[in-house]
Amino acid sequence: MNGSRAFLIAIAVILTAALITGITLLGVYVRLPSDPDYDNIWTEIDKDGNDTFDIDDITTINMDGDEFRILQLTDLHYRAGYKIADSDELIRRTVEIADPDMIVITGDMVMTVENNFYVEHVAELFSDIGIPWAVTYGNHDDEGRADKFYMGEIYENAEYSLYRNGPVNIGGLGNYAVNITRNGEPYYSLIMMDSGTYLEDYPEFSYGTFETGQIYWYDWLQTNLIESGYAKSMMFFHIPLPEYRVAFDEWQLNGSDPAIGFGERREDECHALINIGMFDKIKQLGATTDVFVGHDHVNDYSVEYKGIGLHYGVKSTRQVYHDDDMIGGKLITISGENAEVAVSNILLPE
């Protein structure tokens, strides 16, 4: 073979390889088809002027006995080829210790391009665990082939799942509620929300927050819940409110009173750089007693601030950055006639 022919073959091989790589990369980043339910449009009143709220639209669980145990798991971060079996085992151990009536996972269940495979894995795992479970989206969930509608269909149809896409026109996806009754009477509402991903059109990098429509929707939902006899609620979402930072600072400055808080802050609170006013809305409505988030993997504190419990979950797998001594879950117990809330961290041995 002469030199120029070998050179041409080499060029052809390189170009073919580049083409194949290009097509593959393009292929993996293309979103899989999903089926958005654009009919689920939220309006406060219908065209006849009546409130659209219907308590029967909300999934309801009647508690068994005198306490209701919720296990908050968070930031599972399932991704290709990484610690899958280890993560499954950590979750199953935490569930066994908590012995909950319900599980809420506050976001970042999956990540990376292959999120479509791992959303199926998460659905299979929790269906197999066999305890009613709910999810809210984090900033990483929809970064791969599967968008939130694609994942929403899997979560909505999985066994024991309480997840609902909720309205499509308020911001994010997976804004919905679950009601708990005691002896058939209203007891507590659990409100799940999508706290977004990142702020677009903002001069600096910033994690996301709620959209204005979600604040209106929460106001409408919470007000109607109160009128229906549900005087108290707790909220679950992914990204902390800016008030978390202030709350922890104040708690620490005032001597870390164990009656007001517990747990640790090992990293800064990565909240949005704008404050959309969710905390003020919570205060104004006066029904949400506690807020549970994830997102910052090495924070697990709970602090009361202006009468509201602000809680970080405990990271539940060893995927992505973590501390080995801060893996587990958060146990929330609601008990008695007055619906007292008690919160504690479950930390697995290293």
By the criterion CB under 5 A, which residues form the site for Fe ion?
75, 108
Question: Helices (DSSP H) in 164-242: which residue ranges?
Answer: 212-227
Question: How far apart are the C-alpha atoms of 156 and 200, rounded to whole Å?
Answer: 28
Query: Phi-psi region for residue 151, left (φ > 0), alpha (ψ -120 to 50) or beta?
Result: alpha
Nearer to Fe ion, 188 or 207 (CB): 207
Q: Least distance to Fe ion from the beta carbon of 320, Å? A: 6
Q: Least distance to Fe ion from the beta carbon of 296, Å? A: 8
Nearer to Fe ion, 243 or 296 (CB): 296
Question: How far apart are the C-alpha atoms of 36 and 101, rounded to whole Å?
Answer: 31
Q: What is the residue whose two structure tokens read 């029967």?
A: 56
Nearer to Fe ion, 140 or 182 (CB): 140
Nearer to Fe ion, 107 or 152 (CB): 107
Nearer to Fe ion, 186 or 328 (CB): 328
Consecutive H or E run containing 118? helix 115-129
Q: Least distance to Fe ion from the beta carbon of 220, Å? A: 30
- CA end-to-end distance (rounded Å), the chain: 62
Q: Least distance to Fe ion from the beta carbon of 215, Å? A: 24
Which one-letter amino acid corresponds to residue 80? A
Nearer to Fe ion, 42 or 82 (CB): 82
Consecutive H or E run containing 92? helix 84-98
Q: Least distance to Fe ion from the beta carbon of 203, Å? A: 24
Q: Least distance to Fe ion from the beta carbon of 321, Å? A: 9
Kindly provide the residue ranges of all beta strands, DSSP E only, lying in 241-337, ordered along the sequence: 261-262, 288-293, 302-305, 308-312, 328-335
Q: Least distance to Fe ion from the beta carbon of 118, Å? A: 14
Q: Which residues of 6-36 are buried (b: 16+ CB within 10 A; e: fewer)?
A: eeeeeeeeeeeeeeeeeeeeeeeeeeeeeee
Nearer to Fe ion, 280 or 323 (CB): 323
Query: What percent helix, strand, coil does the chain show, rounded to 5?
Result: 30, 25, 45
Q: What is the residue whose two structure tokens read 């704008």?
A: 274
DSSP state of 19: H
